[in-house]
Chain A
Amino acid sequence: MPQIIFAASNHKTYFMNFRSLLFLAFILCGSTIAMAQRGIIKGKITSREHNEVLTGATVLVNGTTSSTATDLDGEYQFYVNPGNLNLTVRYLGYRDTVINVNVVANQLTVVNVVMQSSQSVLQDVVITGYTQGQAKALNQQKNADNIKNIIAADQIGKFPDPNAAEALQRVPGVNIERDQGEGRYVSVRGLAPQFTNTSVNGEQIPSPEADVRYVALDAIPSDQLASIEVSKALTPDMDGDAIGGSINLITRSAQSKKPTILGFVGGGYNNLMNKGNMQGQLQYGQRFGKDEKFGVLLNSNYYQNNLGSDGVERAIDDNEVELRDYELTRTRLGLSSTLDYRFNNHHEAYFRTLYSRFTDREWRRRYVFKPEDEEIEKLTKDRFESQSVLSLNAGAKHIFKGFLLDYEAQYSYAEQNTPYDNEAGFVAGIPSTLNFADTKFPKIEADEDYTNNSLYEFDELGMGNTIAKDKNITAKFNVGVPYKINGSDGLLKFGAKVRSKDKSYTITQNTFENLGGVPNLDQFAGTPVKDKYMGGRYEMGNPLDIPKVINYFNANPGQFELQIADKASDEALESYKASEDVLAAYLMGRQQINKLMVLAGVRYERTKVTYDSKDVIIAPNGDLEAIRPVTGSSTYDFVLPQVHFKYELDKLTNLRAAVTASYARPNFSEIIPSQEINREDNLATIGNANLKPVSAVNYDLMAEHYFGSVGIVSAGLFYKQLDNFIYRRVTFNSPYPTTGTPIISNIDITQSQNGNNADVMGAEVAFQRRLSFIPFLKDFSLYLNYTYTHSKARLQSREASADNANLTEEIRLPGQANHVGNGSLAYEGRKFSARVSLNFNGSYLSEIGGTKEEDIYIKNRMQLDATAGYAINNQFRLFVEALNLTNQPLQAYQGNANQYIQREFYSYWMRFGVKFNL
């Protein structure tokens, strides 16, 4: 018979005089009267077996509709009517626990509950880390007011996913874009990354990259996170600028007075590069003081990865082929801390920091075969790039007599620094022929030995550096006022936020050509970094060694001529400054009506943006004619009504529905008013500072059934109606500038514009549970999900011309894959565990071409990963992870699926080491 273990205590409480807050008094008057007769229950739910907090546990007052769920720290609080009450605590994988509590009016009662696993009493069933993680995630998901998916840290650790992007690929409806085989950008429900916002601890973080808002999530190490939430339907208290979904990365905090010291050390191996890698993590957390008032958590991790790729690329229109040999060293450093102080049961303050730094040293060695020009180019690029994100959040939470208050200030800064980006190119006048009979591996025949470096003459040496900065300063508050209508609990919530963003990008570029005297490439040859390229299909010879070229450049500057006009043009065209101020406010109510929860409200967001950039005008003869400063600004407002329904069919089954309005801001590259006016080619590409965000109405339906033994089966439908969809439109024979006095009477202008509608619809199903109901598979668990998405958008036809500029055509949205899915089978024994995981990304449109035949697609890809672990004892565990076991390439095709324009191979790579929890 399981024993109920609980600790409860009553405390006299002090309630701040809320009436002094006049601006709130009016709104809350009615409810405070009702609150005067109520008491507060607060507490923490922990696990007996693992002495861990239980996140997402349901706490409900029997016989009423009063219920709440524990937060990430396992804590809960809610307002109840005074009296002798029975509380039920419910948590997947644990037995329901009922506790009798006496609640006094206007007093706070602390009820901490230690729960016992239902599975731990079953013979031969082992509660493992993964099951714990899964339980945490599913309990939160089950009790959430909106449709969301949650991945807990323990769960992340069971998949071989080193960064946040790769951890997210396991979530239903999430597709990732990879760079050099590693996940980088996240698309949710068929919408490209710019339709999803990313937050750390509930507040958006800026993007380190120059021209986009979205964050490359390979910069965030997964070891820094307590959990990741993907909200697929927004509530009014969330930022409204997300159509695909909203990703929240939550860092860790200290849980108990017993010091927690955990981490891992390990190494790895990359098969393509035949090189090792290294990694480690160390986390320390502890609560101090008599009542554990002060908590400290420090977390650091480091991962150095040596990787590479072998690639073939084809430019169909130019009849060119490139052989690309990449070598990379990437590092990920994560540092985070959480300091929190609980003054008493009513008031607490916190300070959270997260710093992540991703560095990428890349050597790209390539040949470009140009039969039409009877030339072959040989180039090497050496570039270092770091992406840093710093997020500082300071805030407090208060429980007052009649309301809840939390507020937070955040400073966040992101930077992408490229201190050097050097590329040298040499050209040989060697005729060649290309044969594409084998579409996967084009055959190259050259009249001479193209690896003979003495045949290559110096073409150019480009050396540049860039820095992109993005800074957010945010302040917000939320007020929650509990109330009761006809015996049903409700919560009225309102709040406001201001955010000021400053973003800038500066570039320095120096390109030199031969003034006379630069020797041929054989003077600058290095040694190959791989034994074989593309399995020996192509010869790469001795590569061009960039340091030798730059050494020569420094020693013989008189032989190099700076391309001054190119420098002026490049630097002016790409540099910009932008600022964006956002003001938001919301009002929402959450009402429980028997088994039905209704959450409804409205959010208002006002955005003011200003930009400074430059026009670059190319004269008809191709010379740089002028560079002119330009500015742009716009202001837009959104009122976003949102309503959510959640109906509990039974204690383990929910039906959900939501209709929400949201929007997505344009990328900076689309709105900054930088312009390239090329009168030689009669083409102009100009930014559109008046571009409006894409707005959307999102409809969601979801049915979910949770298994008491930890698991879920769910199915959902979604439909998104997008308005003001952004597309690139060509205006033929337009005057320039488009407003004011024209200086050019007829020029074709390409500009991102609003105007067209798009629809996205889809269905997602997910199943995960331990197969304990099958005796011989009781130690196995299955994780499956699949999402089907369909989209259509109407754009200006690529066949449009000056005579029929309004001709339209229908396309699929870029980034939208029809099929996305995951499958994973895990064995979880007492000591040994193992998992094989499949991730499937369907093909998607990557770039819209000038014609339909020029559209570029990324081909579908299925990656097989495996991981295994062995627990030496309770403190140490060995692990090994292997990724991309089947050497799945990145493949892009143009026009038809057999016309490859890019194939890039990475081989497999591994990580192994020992994890500890002291």
Chain B
Amino acid sequence: MKKLKYSVLSLLVFAMVACDKKNDNVIKPNVGSNFPQILNLADEGDGEIEDEDKFSFKIELIDRVDPDGEELEGRIVPLKQTVRVHFEVTDHEGFSNLADFIKDAKAFYEIDDCTTSEDENIDLHLEFDKATGKGSVDFPAGVEEIEIEFETDPDLFDDKVLNADDRKLEIKLTSVDAKDEKVVVNTANKFEFEVLDDESIYGKYELDIDDADQFTKFKNLFGLINEDVKGLSADDVEEIEVEFEYGEFKAVVVLKETEEVDECGETETVNKEIEIEGGIEELDIKALEGAVEFADDIEQEDGSEKEFKYSGEFKIVGDKLELTLKGEYDDEETDGITLVLNK
């Protein structure tokens, strides 16, 4: 009987000892509903031509898993309470006092395509100290994104020379007063605003549509990726504009043909347009001549996408831009084609 007692006792002890090896050094991650909402800067940067009088940045909520399960790629789930977000101009170059450049600030959000919070006199209680660059703004409940717009001095950088130095500033989110909301801000990302030099390639240019050679070259160059451009007749075209913006190339063909559009309840007659856009991959911005490359994807009929790329050189002489590009798309490519554009 003694043996039995000892055996049963040992068996119990053994069974207890024989539990799994403790999962030591395991940190439970805060995922699922424990993962907080994130407020982040909507864009990494933006730029405006040097005589522009404003710029803005946006603060947005990051997509989450759709609680309704409808949006597979996720969607923004707005906050249930208003929180207060703090931000700061953390660095600037090309000027010494922030207040010399930024004159005023306001904050708003879009209620729909035609209405903003400003229109409805909704105050986001923006506070911005031009001296320190520190600011705070309400991020209201039920809102996906807010925009903070700065009024700037259009004369500060508006010169007639090609600038060799940067003129820019950067903004970061610094914290959030979350109250009962489980929300954090990304404090590492920055929004960089750059003053674009209109003596460089940045800015708008026009193609002389009466120059049959230039018009044909434009068609040959961009007809590669756009069937409408390929079939253009000069008689159908009102004007052709080419623009180099912050991070983007844009060519707009304004047609003579018009259409009626509904803009916030008002019907307007506008010219039809053909737009060609590409993200800038390479661009020499501190020189009057240099390399340029832009590319993008084009959606196909079946929903798939194919990439196009244009690369070449540019040369600015006075008000003229000589743009020599070679296009590649869908195993086809153009020869190097030179467009001469007028500023």
Residues in chain A within 8 A of chain B (CB atoms) = 259, 261, 280, 282, 284, 286, 298, 300-302, 304, 329, 331, 333, 335, 357, 359, 361, 382, 384, 386, 420, 422, 463, 508, 510, 515-518, 547, 550-551, 553-554, 557-559, 561-562, 564-565, 567-568, 619-627, 679-680, 918
Contacts and interface: CB of A to CB of B under 8 A. Distances in A.
Contacts, number: 137
A918 B3 contact: yes
A284 B8 contact: yes
Nearest to A514: B188
A515 B29 contact: no
A282 B9 CA distance: 11
B186 A333 contact: no
Given A384-B26, A554-B29, A559 B64 contact: no
A259 B186 CA distance: 68
Please name the 7 residue pairs, one residue from A and one from B, whose CB atoms are nearest each other, closest first.
Answer: A517-B188, A564-B74, A302-B18, A620-B304, A516-B189, A620-B303, A558-B184
B35 A562 contact: yes
B121 interface: no
Nearest to B297: A621
Contact of B4 (A286, A359, A558, A565): A286
28 contacts: A259-B7, A280-B18, A282-B10, A284-B8, A300-B11, A302-B14, A331-B21, A382-B26, A386-B20, A510-B32, A516-B188, A517-B187, A517-B188, A517-B189, A547-B27, A550-B27, A554-B27, A554-B29, A558-B188, A564-B63, A564-B64, A564-B65, A564-B74, A565-B74, A567-B65, A621-B299, A625-B72, A679-B303
A558 B73 contact: no
A317 to B, nearest CB: 23
Given A620-B304, A679-B303, 17 more contacts: A282-B7, A359-B21, A420-B26, A463-B29, A515-B189, A517-B187, A517-B188, A550-B29, A553-B30, A554-B29, A557-B36, A557-B184, A558-B184, A561-B38, A568-B73, A620-B303, A626-B72
Residue of A550, A557, A561 with highest tally of chain B CB at under 10 A:
A557
Nearest to A286: B4
B14 A282 contact: yes
Nearest to B301: A620
B300 to A, nearest CB: 7
Overall SS of chain B's interface: loop
A198 B240 CA distance: 76
Contacts of B188: 516-518, 558-559
Nearest to B185: A558
B192 to A, nearest CB: 13
Interface in B288-320: 299-300, 302-305
Given A515-B40, A562-B35, A557 B72 contact: no
Contact of B72 (A382, A386, A624): A624
Contacts of A679: 302-304
A261 B7 contact: yes
Interface of B: 3-4, 7-8, 10-11, 14-15, 17-21, 23, 25-32, 35-36, 38-40, 62-65, 72-74, 184-189, 299-300, 302-305
A361 B187 contact: no
A561 B72 CA distance: 16
Contact of A551 (B14, B19, B27): B27
Given A300-B15, A300-B18, A302-B18, A680 B304 contact: yes
B86 to A, nearest CB: 13
B21 A361 contact: yes
Nearest to A509: B31
Nearest to B300: A620
A518 B187 CA distance: 11
Given A516-B188, A565-B72, A557 B30 contact: yes
Contacts of B38: 515, 557-558, 561
Contacts of A384: 23, 26
Given A357-B20, A359-B20, A565 B26 contact: no
B17 to A, nearest CB: 7
A304 B21 contact: yes
Given A284-B11, A300-B11, A564-B65, A627 B303 contact: no
Contact of A515 (B18, B36, B62, B303): B62
B70 to A, nearest CB: 11
Nearest to B75: A564
Contacts of B304: 620-621, 679-680
Nearest to A569: B72
Contacts of A619: 303
B23 A557 contact: no
A561 B36 CA distance: 11
A678 to B, nearest CB: 11
B61 to A, nearest CB: 11
B23 A261 contact: no
Given A515-B62, A621-B304, A422 B29 contact: yes
Contacts of B31: 463, 510
A304 B17 CA distance: 11
A603 B15 CA distance: 42
A360 to B, nearest CB: 10
B75 to A, nearest CB: 9
Nearest to B304: A620
